[in-house]
Structure 1
Amino acid sequence: MWFCSAVGDHLYKRRYYLLSFLLVLVLVWIATFSGEALKIIPVFSATMQTRKDNLMDQPDNGASTPDQLYIPTQKGECPVESPLLQGLVKPHFESSLTMKNVENETKGVSEGGYEPSGRTARQSVAIIIPHRRRETHLIYLLYHLHPFLQRQQLHYALYVVHQAGDATFNRAKLMNVGYLEALKDHSWDCYIFHDVDLIPENDKNVYICDDNRPKHLIFGRNSTGYKMLNKIAFGGVTAFTKEQFEQINGFSNLYWGWGGEDDDLYNR
Protein backbone atom coordinates (compact mmCIF):
# COMPACT_ATOMS: atom_id res chain seq x y z
CA MET A 1 0.00 0.00 0.00
CA TRP A 2 2.70 2.41 0.97
CA PHE A 3 4.76 1.57 -2.13
CA CYS A 4 1.82 2.01 -4.34
CA SER A 5 1.01 5.18 -2.54
CA ALA A 6 4.60 6.37 -2.88
CA VAL A 7 4.62 5.68 -6.60
CA GLY A 8 1.26 7.44 -6.93
CA ASP A 9 2.57 10.42 -4.99
CA HIS A 10 5.68 10.61 -7.18
CA LEU A 11 3.57 10.55 -10.34
CA TYR A 12 1.31 13.19 -8.87
CA LYS A 13 4.29 15.49 -8.21
CA ARG A 14 5.59 15.00 -11.76
CA ARG A 15 2.18 15.84 -13.16
CA TYR A 16 1.97 18.89 -10.91
CA TYR A 17 5.35 20.21 -12.10
CA LEU A 18 4.43 19.54 -15.73
CA LEU A 19 1.09 21.33 -15.45
CA SER A 20 2.75 24.24 -13.65
CA PHE A 21 5.33 24.54 -16.41
CA LEU A 22 2.62 24.49 -19.10
CA LEU A 23 0.62 27.11 -17.20
CA VAL A 24 3.65 29.41 -17.07
CA LEU A 25 4.15 29.00 -20.83
CA VAL A 26 0.51 29.88 -21.46
CA LEU A 27 0.73 32.98 -19.26
CA VAL A 28 3.90 34.13 -21.02
CA TRP A 29 2.24 33.62 -24.41
CA ILE A 30 -0.87 35.56 -23.35
CA ALA A 31 1.20 38.43 -21.96
CA THR A 32 3.28 38.61 -25.11
CA PHE A 33 0.23 38.53 -27.39
CA SER A 34 -1.61 41.16 -25.34
CA GLY A 35 1.41 43.45 -25.40
CA GLU A 36 1.60 43.29 -29.20
CA ALA A 37 -2.13 43.95 -29.56
CA LEU A 38 -1.95 47.01 -27.33
CA LYS A 39 0.94 48.37 -29.38
CA ILE A 40 -1.03 48.14 -32.66
CA ILE A 41 -4.12 50.07 -31.58
CA PRO A 42 -2.61 53.49 -30.72
CA VAL A 43 -0.34 53.46 -33.77
CA PHE A 44 -3.34 52.77 -36.01
CA SER A 45 -5.43 55.51 -34.38
CA ALA A 46 -2.63 58.05 -34.63
CA THR A 47 -2.18 57.27 -38.32
CA MET A 48 -5.88 57.80 -39.02
CA GLN A 49 -5.92 61.02 -37.01
CA THR A 50 -3.02 62.40 -39.05
CA ARG A 51 -4.83 61.47 -42.24
CA LYS A 52 -7.97 63.31 -41.12
CA ASP A 53 -6.00 66.37 -40.01
CA ASN A 54 -4.26 66.57 -43.36
CA LEU A 55 -7.55 66.22 -45.18
CA MET A 56 -9.11 69.10 -43.30
CA ASP A 57 -6.34 71.38 -44.58
CA GLN A 58 -7.02 70.57 -48.22
CA PRO A 59 -8.91 73.23 -50.21
CA ASP A 60 -12.28 72.30 -51.65
CA ASN A 61 -12.42 72.62 -55.41
CA GLY A 62 -15.58 70.60 -55.85
CA ALA A 63 -13.64 67.95 -57.73
CA SER A 64 -12.52 65.46 -55.10
CA THR A 65 -14.54 62.76 -53.41
CA PRO A 66 -14.02 63.17 -49.65
CA ASP A 67 -15.32 59.70 -48.89
CA GLN A 68 -12.52 58.16 -50.93
CA LEU A 69 -9.88 60.16 -49.05
CA TYR A 70 -11.01 59.33 -45.51
CA ILE A 71 -10.56 55.78 -44.21
CA PRO A 72 -12.53 55.14 -40.99
CA THR A 73 -10.90 53.32 -38.11
CA GLN A 74 -13.72 50.82 -38.10
CA LYS A 75 -16.79 49.92 -40.12
CA GLY A 76 -20.29 50.81 -38.96
CA GLU A 77 -22.45 53.88 -38.93
CA CYS A 78 -20.97 57.23 -39.95
CA PRO A 79 -20.19 59.48 -36.95
CA VAL A 80 -22.70 62.06 -35.75
CA GLU A 81 -20.38 64.81 -36.99
CA SER A 82 -18.49 63.97 -40.14
CA PRO A 83 -14.71 64.45 -39.87
CA LEU A 84 -14.77 65.81 -43.44
CA LEU A 85 -16.66 69.03 -42.66
CA GLN A 86 -14.83 72.23 -43.58
CA GLY A 87 -17.28 74.84 -42.30
CA LEU A 88 -17.71 77.99 -44.35
CA VAL A 89 -16.56 77.57 -47.96
CA LYS A 90 -17.51 80.39 -50.31
CA PRO A 91 -18.70 79.03 -53.66
CA HIS A 92 -17.02 80.19 -56.84
CA PHE A 93 -18.77 80.62 -60.17
CA GLU A 94 -16.65 80.07 -63.25
CA SER A 95 -18.42 81.32 -66.35
CA SER A 96 -16.83 78.53 -68.41
CA LEU A 97 -18.29 75.76 -66.20
CA THR A 98 -20.42 73.23 -68.11
CA MET A 99 -22.52 70.22 -67.19
CA LYS A 100 -19.79 68.04 -68.66
CA ASN A 101 -17.35 69.55 -66.16
CA VAL A 102 -19.74 68.67 -63.36
CA GLU A 103 -19.99 65.06 -64.58
CA ASN A 104 -16.22 64.69 -64.96
CA GLU A 105 -15.25 66.33 -61.66
CA THR A 106 -17.93 64.88 -59.39
CA LYS A 107 -16.70 61.49 -58.21
CA GLY A 108 -18.61 58.56 -56.77
CA VAL A 109 -22.01 59.60 -58.14
CA SER A 110 -24.18 57.19 -60.09
CA GLU A 111 -27.47 58.33 -61.67
CA GLY A 112 -27.60 61.37 -59.41
CA GLY A 113 -27.02 59.38 -56.23
CA TYR A 114 -24.21 58.65 -53.80
CA GLU A 115 -23.63 56.44 -50.77
CA PRO A 116 -20.61 56.36 -48.43
CA SER A 117 -18.51 53.26 -49.02
CA GLY A 118 -17.85 50.81 -46.22
CA ARG A 119 -20.24 52.32 -43.68
CA THR A 120 -23.86 53.36 -43.15
CA ALA A 121 -24.99 56.97 -43.50
CA ARG A 122 -26.89 58.55 -40.63
CA GLN A 123 -29.76 59.39 -42.98
CA SER A 124 -30.75 58.76 -46.56
CA VAL A 125 -31.89 61.96 -48.23
CA ALA A 126 -33.84 62.76 -51.41
CA ILE A 127 -33.23 66.30 -52.67
CA ILE A 128 -35.91 67.62 -55.02
CA ILE A 129 -35.01 70.55 -57.27
CA PRO A 130 -37.71 72.28 -59.38
CA HIS A 131 -36.33 73.59 -62.67
CA ARG A 132 -37.16 75.47 -65.83
CA ARG A 133 -34.88 77.71 -67.93
CA ARG A 134 -32.27 77.89 -65.18
CA GLU A 135 -29.51 75.83 -66.81
CA THR A 136 -26.65 77.97 -65.50
CA HIS A 137 -28.04 77.96 -61.98
CA LEU A 138 -28.45 74.19 -62.15
CA ILE A 139 -24.83 73.68 -63.23
CA TYR A 140 -23.52 75.80 -60.35
CA LEU A 141 -25.78 74.09 -57.82
CA LEU A 142 -24.83 70.55 -58.85
CA TYR A 143 -21.14 71.46 -58.95
CA HIS A 144 -21.17 72.62 -55.32
CA LEU A 145 -23.95 70.47 -53.83
CA HIS A 146 -22.43 67.06 -54.61
CA PRO A 147 -19.16 67.59 -52.66
CA PHE A 148 -21.10 69.47 -49.96
CA LEU A 149 -23.33 66.45 -49.31
CA GLN A 150 -20.47 63.96 -49.61
CA ARG A 151 -18.52 65.77 -46.90
CA GLN A 152 -21.58 65.29 -44.69
CA GLN A 153 -21.35 61.53 -45.41
CA LEU A 154 -24.98 61.23 -46.47
CA HIS A 155 -26.67 58.68 -48.68
CA TYR A 156 -28.48 60.94 -51.13
CA ALA A 157 -30.01 61.33 -54.56
CA LEU A 158 -30.83 64.51 -56.48
CA TYR A 159 -34.13 64.75 -58.38
CA VAL A 160 -34.26 67.60 -60.88
CA VAL A 161 -37.92 68.07 -61.84
CA HIS A 162 -38.20 69.98 -65.11
CA GLN A 163 -41.35 71.77 -66.28
CA ALA A 164 -41.62 71.72 -70.06
CA GLY A 165 -43.76 73.95 -72.25
CA ASP A 166 -44.71 77.60 -71.94
CA ALA A 167 -47.34 77.44 -69.21
CA THR A 168 -46.87 79.53 -66.08
CA PHE A 169 -44.31 78.00 -63.75
CA ASN A 170 -45.69 76.00 -60.82
CA ARG A 171 -42.92 75.38 -58.29
CA ALA A 172 -45.15 73.69 -55.74
CA LYS A 173 -46.55 71.14 -58.20
CA LEU A 174 -43.01 70.23 -59.31
CA MET A 175 -42.09 69.61 -55.68
CA ASN A 176 -45.03 67.23 -55.27
CA VAL A 177 -44.11 65.41 -58.48
CA GLY A 178 -40.49 65.04 -57.32
CA TYR A 179 -41.61 63.66 -53.98
CA LEU A 180 -43.81 61.01 -55.60
CA GLU A 181 -41.02 60.00 -57.98
CA ALA A 182 -38.50 59.74 -55.14
CA LEU A 183 -40.87 57.42 -53.25
CA LYS A 184 -40.60 54.93 -56.12
CA ASP A 185 -36.83 54.58 -55.72
CA HIS A 186 -36.22 54.29 -52.00
CA SER A 187 -37.75 54.73 -48.56
CA TRP A 188 -35.85 57.94 -47.83
CA ASP A 189 -35.44 59.19 -44.27
CA CYS A 190 -35.63 62.81 -45.38
CA TYR A 191 -37.04 64.80 -48.32
CA ILE A 192 -35.44 68.19 -48.99
CA PHE A 193 -37.09 70.69 -51.35
CA HIS A 194 -34.38 72.89 -52.82
CA ASP A 195 -34.52 75.99 -55.04
CA VAL A 196 -32.11 75.81 -57.95
CA ASP A 197 -30.60 79.26 -57.31
CA LEU A 198 -29.61 78.73 -53.67
CA ILE A 199 -26.17 77.28 -52.91
CA PRO A 200 -25.21 76.35 -49.32
CA GLU A 201 -21.95 77.86 -48.07
CA ASN A 202 -21.38 76.08 -44.75
CA ASP A 203 -21.34 72.27 -44.67
CA LYS A 204 -21.99 72.27 -40.92
CA ASN A 205 -25.56 73.06 -41.93
CA VAL A 206 -26.24 69.34 -42.28
CA TYR A 207 -28.92 68.35 -44.77
CA ILE A 208 -30.88 65.94 -42.57
CA CYS A 209 -34.38 65.88 -41.10
CA ASP A 210 -35.55 66.51 -37.57
CA ASP A 211 -38.03 63.98 -36.19
CA ASN A 212 -39.87 66.61 -34.18
CA ARG A 213 -40.81 69.12 -36.88
CA PRO A 214 -40.09 70.27 -40.45
CA LYS A 215 -36.77 72.05 -40.83
CA HIS A 216 -35.82 75.29 -42.60
CA LEU A 217 -32.26 74.93 -43.90
CA ILE A 218 -31.81 78.56 -44.95
CA PHE A 219 -31.42 81.38 -42.47
CA GLY A 220 -30.46 84.06 -44.95
CA ARG A 221 -28.61 84.70 -48.17
CA ASN A 222 -25.87 87.02 -49.33
CA SER A 223 -28.29 89.22 -51.30
CA THR A 224 -30.16 90.06 -48.07
CA GLY A 225 -27.12 90.41 -45.84
CA TYR A 226 -27.72 86.89 -44.48
CA LYS A 227 -30.92 87.98 -42.75
CA MET A 228 -34.43 86.55 -42.91
CA LEU A 229 -36.89 88.69 -44.83
CA ASN A 230 -39.59 87.94 -42.28
CA LYS A 231 -40.23 85.68 -39.30
CA ILE A 232 -42.50 83.27 -41.15
CA ALA A 233 -40.26 82.75 -44.21
CA PHE A 234 -40.28 79.04 -45.01
CA GLY A 235 -39.10 78.76 -48.60
CA GLY A 236 -35.87 78.12 -50.43
CA VAL A 237 -34.65 74.90 -48.79
CA THR A 238 -36.94 72.90 -46.50
CA ALA A 239 -36.70 69.39 -45.05
CA PHE A 240 -39.50 66.96 -44.17
CA THR A 241 -39.77 63.36 -43.14
CA LYS A 242 -42.31 61.28 -45.09
CA GLU A 243 -44.72 61.39 -42.16
CA GLN A 244 -44.47 65.18 -41.81
CA PHE A 245 -44.94 65.85 -45.52
CA GLU A 246 -47.94 63.55 -45.86
CA GLN A 247 -49.54 64.88 -42.70
CA ILE A 248 -49.86 68.32 -44.34
CA ASN A 249 -50.68 66.75 -47.74
CA GLY A 250 -47.59 68.26 -49.36
CA PHE A 251 -47.63 71.55 -51.28
CA SER A 252 -50.73 73.14 -52.73
CA ASN A 253 -50.94 72.68 -56.52
CA LEU A 254 -52.93 75.91 -56.93
CA TYR A 255 -50.07 78.46 -56.91
CA TRP A 256 -49.06 79.42 -60.45
CA GLY A 257 -46.33 81.99 -60.95
CA TRP A 258 -43.98 83.45 -58.36
CA GLY A 259 -44.63 83.32 -54.61
CA GLY A 260 -47.35 82.25 -52.25
CA GLU A 261 -46.72 78.51 -52.09
CA ASP A 262 -44.03 78.79 -49.39
CA ASP A 263 -46.31 80.88 -47.13
CA ASP A 264 -49.07 78.33 -47.70
CA LEU A 265 -46.61 75.59 -46.73
CA TYR A 266 -45.73 77.45 -43.52
CA ASN A 267 -49.43 77.72 -42.61
CA ARG A 268 -49.92 74.00 -43.19
Structure 2
Amino acid sequence: MSDFSQSNSKSSNTKRMEDLIDKAFNATDYYDRVDAIKEIDDQEVLRKVAANDPDYYVRQTATEKIEDQDVLMQIALNDSDYYVRVAAVKRISDAKILAHIVLKSQEDYYICKDALAKIKDDDVLEKLIDEISDRDIMKTAVEAIERQSTLKKIAVGHEDFYVRSDALKKIEDQQLLIEIALNDEDYYVRALALEKVLDPEIIVKVAFEDQDYYVRNKAVAKIDDPAILAELVKKDADFEVRKKAISKIHDRGLLEQLLIDVEDHYILRKIKNKLSELE
Protein backbone atom coordinates (compact mmCIF):
# COMPACT_ATOMS: atom_id res chain seq x y z
CA MET A 1 0.00 0.00 0.00
CA SER A 2 1.36 3.43 -0.94
CA ASP A 3 1.99 6.17 1.61
CA PHE A 4 -0.87 8.09 0.05
CA SER A 5 -3.28 5.16 0.50
CA GLN A 6 -2.17 4.64 4.10
CA SER A 7 -2.68 8.32 4.81
CA ASN A 8 -6.16 8.21 3.33
CA SER A 9 -7.00 5.11 5.39
CA LYS A 10 -5.84 6.73 8.63
CA SER A 11 -7.71 9.88 7.78
CA SER A 12 -10.84 7.88 7.07
CA ASN A 13 -10.56 5.97 10.35
CA THR A 14 -9.98 9.17 12.27
CA LYS A 15 -13.00 10.79 10.66
CA ARG A 16 -15.14 7.74 11.43
CA MET A 17 -14.06 7.77 15.08
CA GLU A 18 -14.75 11.49 15.34
CA ASP A 19 -18.24 10.85 13.96
CA LEU A 20 -18.80 8.03 16.46
CA ILE A 21 -17.69 10.21 19.36
CA ASP A 22 -19.93 13.03 18.20
CA LYS A 23 -22.79 10.56 17.93
CA ALA A 24 -22.06 9.16 21.40
CA PHE A 25 -22.34 12.62 22.93
CA ASN A 26 -24.95 14.28 20.77
CA ALA A 27 -27.29 11.81 19.05
CA THR A 28 -30.88 12.49 20.06
CA ASP A 29 -31.91 8.84 20.17
CA TYR A 30 -30.29 6.95 23.04
CA TYR A 31 -30.09 3.80 20.88
CA ASP A 32 -27.86 5.69 18.46
CA ARG A 33 -25.64 6.78 21.34
CA VAL A 34 -25.44 3.18 22.58
CA ASP A 35 -24.50 1.91 19.10
CA ALA A 36 -21.72 4.47 18.90
CA ILE A 37 -20.37 3.64 22.36
CA LYS A 38 -20.12 -0.04 21.46
CA GLU A 39 -17.48 0.88 18.88
CA ILE A 40 -15.52 3.29 21.08
CA ASP A 41 -12.61 2.19 23.27
CA ASP A 42 -11.29 5.62 24.23
CA GLN A 43 -11.41 5.50 28.03
CA GLU A 44 -11.79 9.24 28.52
CA VAL A 45 -14.76 9.36 26.16
CA LEU A 46 -16.34 6.40 27.93
CA ARG A 47 -15.74 8.03 31.32
CA LYS A 48 -17.44 11.25 30.24
CA VAL A 49 -20.43 9.40 28.78
CA ALA A 50 -20.78 7.27 31.91
CA ALA A 51 -20.65 10.37 34.07
CA ASN A 52 -22.96 12.62 32.09
CA ASP A 53 -25.40 10.87 29.78
CA PRO A 54 -29.02 11.32 30.94
CA ASP A 55 -30.03 7.79 29.95
CA TYR A 56 -29.13 4.93 32.32
CA TYR A 57 -28.68 2.39 29.51
CA VAL A 58 -26.19 4.61 27.72
CA ARG A 59 -24.25 5.09 30.96
CA GLN A 60 -24.40 1.35 31.63
CA THR A 61 -23.06 0.53 28.16
CA ALA A 62 -20.17 2.94 28.63
CA THR A 63 -19.46 1.62 32.12
CA GLU A 64 -19.22 -1.94 30.81
CA LYS A 65 -16.21 -0.86 28.72
CA ILE A 66 -14.36 1.17 31.35
CA GLU A 67 -11.17 -0.35 32.76
CA ASP A 68 -9.98 2.17 35.36
CA GLN A 69 -10.84 0.78 38.81
CA ASP A 70 -11.08 4.19 40.48
CA VAL A 71 -13.43 5.50 37.80
CA LEU A 72 -15.57 2.40 38.20
CA MET A 73 -15.61 2.91 41.97
CA GLN A 74 -16.96 6.44 41.56
CA ILE A 75 -19.69 5.15 39.26
CA ALA A 76 -20.57 2.34 41.68
CA LEU A 77 -20.85 4.83 44.53
CA ASN A 78 -22.50 7.76 42.80
CA ASP A 79 -24.62 6.79 39.81
CA SER A 80 -28.33 7.23 40.41
CA ASP A 81 -29.29 4.00 38.66
CA TYR A 82 -28.92 0.55 40.21
CA TYR A 83 -28.06 -1.19 36.93
CA VAL A 84 -25.26 1.23 36.19
CA ARG A 85 -23.84 0.74 39.68
CA VAL A 86 -24.02 -3.03 39.26
CA ALA A 87 -22.26 -2.80 35.91
CA ALA A 88 -19.46 -0.89 37.60
CA VAL A 89 -19.15 -3.39 40.45
CA LYS A 90 -18.93 -6.27 37.99
CA ARG A 91 -15.95 -4.61 36.31
CA ILE A 92 -14.01 -4.13 39.55
CA SER A 93 -11.49 -6.74 40.68
CA ASP A 94 -9.62 -4.82 43.39
CA ALA A 95 -10.72 -6.29 46.75
CA LYS A 96 -10.05 -3.11 48.72
CA ILE A 97 -12.07 -0.99 46.31
CA LEU A 98 -14.92 -3.49 46.51
CA ALA A 99 -14.71 -3.38 50.31
CA HIS A 100 -14.91 0.41 50.22
CA ILE A 101 -18.01 0.18 48.04
CA VAL A 102 -19.61 -2.21 50.53
CA LEU A 103 -18.98 0.14 53.45
CA LYS A 104 -20.34 3.15 51.57
CA SER A 105 -23.37 1.36 50.07
CA GLN A 106 -24.96 -0.40 53.02
CA GLU A 107 -28.34 1.10 52.21
CA ASP A 108 -28.29 -1.02 49.03
CA TYR A 109 -28.04 -4.70 49.97
CA TYR A 110 -27.84 -6.02 46.42
CA ILE A 111 -24.94 -3.78 45.43
CA CYS A 112 -23.12 -4.96 48.55
CA LYS A 113 -23.98 -8.58 47.79
CA ASP A 114 -22.53 -8.30 44.28
CA ALA A 115 -19.41 -6.58 45.61
CA LEU A 116 -18.88 -9.16 48.35
CA ALA A 117 -19.24 -12.00 45.86
CA LYS A 118 -16.22 -10.63 44.01
CA ILE A 119 -13.96 -10.30 47.06
CA LYS A 120 -11.71 -13.36 47.22
CA ASP A 121 -9.35 -12.05 49.91
CA ASP A 122 -10.44 -13.46 53.28
CA ASP A 123 -8.29 -10.94 55.17
CA VAL A 124 -10.23 -8.11 53.53
CA LEU A 125 -13.52 -9.83 54.34
CA GLU A 126 -12.54 -10.40 57.97
CA LYS A 127 -11.67 -6.73 58.43
CA LEU A 128 -14.86 -5.74 56.66
CA ILE A 129 -17.01 -7.74 59.08
CA ASP A 130 -15.83 -5.54 61.96
CA GLU A 131 -16.76 -2.38 60.05
CA ILE A 132 -20.13 -3.30 58.52
CA SER A 133 -23.16 -2.12 60.47
CA ASP A 134 -25.95 -3.81 58.49
CA ARG A 135 -26.81 -7.29 59.80
CA ASP A 136 -27.75 -8.85 56.43
CA ILE A 137 -24.66 -7.50 54.70
CA MET A 138 -22.48 -8.72 57.57
CA LYS A 139 -24.00 -12.19 57.18
CA THR A 140 -23.23 -12.15 53.45
CA ALA A 141 -19.64 -11.13 54.20
CA VAL A 142 -19.19 -14.05 56.60
CA GLU A 143 -20.68 -16.42 54.04
CA ALA A 144 -18.14 -15.23 51.48
CA ILE A 145 -15.20 -16.36 53.64
CA GLU A 146 -13.68 -19.69 52.63
CA ARG A 147 -10.60 -20.07 54.85
CA GLN A 148 -11.42 -22.32 57.81
CA SER A 149 -8.90 -20.65 60.13
CA THR A 150 -10.60 -17.29 59.60
CA LEU A 151 -14.02 -18.79 60.20
CA LYS A 152 -12.74 -20.42 63.41
CA LYS A 153 -11.40 -17.10 64.64
CA ILE A 154 -14.75 -15.42 64.03
CA ALA A 155 -16.78 -18.29 65.49
CA VAL A 156 -14.81 -18.27 68.73
CA GLY A 157 -13.96 -14.62 69.20
CA HIS A 158 -16.49 -12.30 67.60
CA GLU A 159 -18.58 -10.26 70.02
CA ASP A 160 -21.81 -10.67 68.03
CA PHE A 161 -23.39 -14.09 68.47
CA TYR A 162 -25.16 -13.75 65.12
CA VAL A 163 -21.78 -13.39 63.43
CA ARG A 164 -20.43 -16.39 65.34
CA SER A 165 -23.48 -18.35 64.25
CA ASP A 166 -22.96 -17.44 60.60
CA ALA A 167 -19.32 -18.53 60.78
CA LEU A 168 -20.25 -21.78 62.52
CA LYS A 169 -22.43 -22.82 59.62
CA LYS A 170 -19.32 -23.01 57.43
CA ILE A 171 -17.00 -24.77 59.89
CA GLU A 172 -16.20 -28.47 59.48
CA ASP A 173 -13.55 -28.90 62.22
CA GLN A 174 -15.13 -31.38 64.66
CA GLN A 175 -12.89 -30.52 67.61
CA LEU A 176 -13.75 -26.86 67.33
CA LEU A 177 -17.45 -27.64 66.95
CA ILE A 178 -17.33 -29.81 70.08
CA GLU A 179 -15.55 -27.08 72.03
CA ILE A 180 -18.17 -24.54 71.04
CA ALA A 181 -21.08 -26.93 71.65
CA LEU A 182 -19.83 -27.56 75.18
CA ASN A 183 -18.57 -24.15 76.20
CA ASP A 184 -19.99 -21.21 74.27
CA GLU A 185 -21.82 -18.76 76.49
CA ASP A 186 -24.71 -18.37 74.06
CA TYR A 187 -27.24 -21.20 73.96
CA TYR A 188 -28.11 -20.67 70.30
CA VAL A 189 -24.47 -20.84 69.24
CA ARG A 190 -24.03 -24.05 71.26
CA ALA A 191 -27.09 -25.52 69.57
CA LEU A 192 -25.83 -24.62 66.10
CA ALA A 193 -22.46 -26.19 66.81
CA LEU A 194 -24.11 -29.30 68.23
CA GLU A 195 -26.11 -29.82 65.05
CA LYS A 196 -22.81 -30.38 63.24
CA VAL A 197 -21.16 -32.53 65.93
CA LEU A 198 -20.83 -36.20 64.96
CA ASP A 199 -19.48 -37.73 68.20
CA PRO A 200 -22.38 -39.62 69.87
CA GLU A 201 -20.80 -39.38 73.32
CA ILE A 202 -20.64 -35.60 73.11
CA ILE A 203 -24.24 -35.46 71.95
CA VAL A 204 -25.37 -37.55 74.92
CA LYS A 205 -23.28 -35.43 77.29
CA VAL A 206 -25.00 -32.30 76.02
CA ALA A 207 -28.42 -33.93 76.27
CA PHE A 208 -27.90 -34.60 79.97
CA GLU A 209 -25.76 -31.65 81.02
CA ASP A 210 -26.46 -28.51 79.02
CA GLN A 211 -28.15 -25.86 81.13
CA ASP A 212 -30.55 -24.77 78.39
CA TYR A 213 -33.54 -26.87 77.36
CA TYR A 214 -33.28 -25.69 73.73
CA VAL A 215 -29.79 -27.15 73.40
CA ARG A 216 -30.76 -30.37 75.18
CA ASN A 217 -33.73 -30.69 72.85
CA LYS A 218 -31.41 -30.40 69.84
CA ALA A 219 -29.24 -33.12 71.34
CA VAL A 220 -32.21 -35.43 71.91
CA ALA A 221 -33.13 -35.04 68.24
CA LYS A 222 -29.79 -36.67 67.37
CA ILE A 223 -30.08 -39.61 69.78
CA ASP A 224 -31.59 -42.93 68.73
CA ASP A 225 -30.63 -45.19 71.66
CA PRO A 226 -33.97 -45.99 73.38
CA ALA A 227 -32.36 -46.62 76.78
CA ILE A 228 -30.72 -43.19 76.78
CA LEU A 229 -33.95 -41.60 75.62
CA ALA A 230 -35.83 -43.32 78.45
CA GLU A 231 -33.33 -41.96 80.99
CA LEU A 232 -33.90 -38.48 79.63
CA VAL A 233 -37.66 -38.91 79.98
CA LYS A 234 -37.14 -39.80 83.63
CA LYS A 235 -34.51 -37.23 84.52
CA ASP A 236 -34.87 -34.09 82.42
CA ALA A 237 -36.61 -31.16 84.07
CA ASP A 238 -38.14 -29.73 80.90
CA PHE A 239 -41.32 -31.17 79.41
CA GLU A 240 -40.30 -30.25 75.82
CA VAL A 241 -37.12 -32.30 76.13
CA ARG A 242 -39.00 -35.21 77.68
CA LYS A 243 -41.71 -35.00 75.02
CA LYS A 244 -39.07 -35.10 72.26
CA ALA A 245 -37.44 -38.15 73.88
CA ILE A 246 -40.79 -39.96 74.14
CA SER A 247 -41.51 -39.29 70.47
CA LYS A 248 -38.32 -41.15 69.53
CA ILE A 249 -38.94 -44.28 71.62
CA HIS A 250 -40.57 -47.14 69.71
CA ASP A 251 -40.05 -49.90 72.27
CA ARG A 252 -43.38 -50.70 73.95
CA GLY A 253 -41.67 -52.39 76.88
CA LEU A 254 -39.62 -49.29 77.66
CA LEU A 255 -42.64 -47.05 77.36
CA GLU A 256 -44.69 -49.29 79.67
CA GLN A 257 -41.86 -49.22 82.21
CA LEU A 258 -41.83 -45.43 82.00
CA LEU A 259 -45.50 -45.45 82.99
CA ILE A 260 -44.33 -46.97 86.27
CA ASP A 261 -41.23 -44.80 86.75
CA VAL A 262 -42.68 -41.39 85.86
CA GLU A 263 -45.03 -39.40 88.07
CA ASP A 264 -45.68 -36.26 86.02
CA HIS A 265 -49.26 -36.42 84.71
CA TYR A 266 -48.51 -34.52 81.52
CA ILE A 267 -45.60 -36.81 80.67
CA LEU A 268 -47.66 -39.89 81.51
CA ARG A 269 -50.30 -38.72 79.05
CA LYS A 270 -47.64 -38.30 76.35
CA ILE A 271 -46.33 -41.82 77.02
CA LYS A 272 -49.84 -43.26 76.73
CA ASN A 273 -50.38 -41.36 73.48
CA LYS A 274 -47.15 -42.82 72.12
CA LEU A 275 -48.21 -46.33 73.11
CA SER A 276 -51.50 -45.78 71.29
CA GLU A 277 -49.59 -44.76 68.17
CA LEU A 278 -47.66 -48.04 68.30
CA GLU A 279 -50.75 -50.25 68.44
Do both share a fold (TM > 0.5)? no
Higher helix proportion (structure 1 or 2): 2
- TM-score, structure 2 normalization: 0.29
Higher relative contact order (CA 8 A, sep 6+): 1
* Structure of larger gyration radius: 2
